[in-house]
Amino acid sequence: MRAGGHANHVPRRRATGAPRRGRRGQIGRRALTFPLGLPYCVWVTAQAQTDVFRAIADPTRRALLDLLRTGDRTVNELAEPFDMSRPAISQHLRLLLEARLVAVRKEGRQRRYRLNGAAIGRVARWAAKFEDAVAKAKGRRR
């Protein structure tokens, strides 16, 4: 008998370099790094930026970030203005947590969410690089 427990068991093998599949058949998270063409060597982790942009791409998550601008809030306080279930709000918050746009603190049975200013600042600095392009586009419309 083979190690798998069944006489005809053949272990599955992944192709070398193929990404691992996680729950629900999703491709596992791996950091993609690549050098930028600068005079010094800079490696950018694409996964971190992709997660941030994926997180802010959804209007519900942007609205949650807007609510958190005024201060810390619980899941119930965040879910109140939305017409969706609390588990749905929790899923949105989980994605914001994974992107490190928010932080969570447990207080008894409740979780209080707050903005992570450092991560928001990084997104703002990245977007600021395109201000001159926006100004040029506005100048052409006039």
Over the stretch 49-102, which tens digit does the pLDDT of each residue have? 557 888 999 999 999 999 999 999 999 999 999 999 999 999 999 999 999 999
How many residues are given for the chain? 142
Q: Report yes or no: 68 and 102 within 8 Å, Cβ to Cβ.
A: yes
All structural domains of the chain, each given as residue ranges with its CATH number in brackets, are 44-141 (1.10.10.10)
pLDDT at 135 over 60: yes
Q: Give this prediction's pTM.
A: 0.61
Q: Which residue has the higher pLDDT, 84 or 39?
A: 84
DSSP 25: G
pLDDT at 10 over 50: yes
Round to whole Å and give the CA distance between 70 and 114. Answer: 9
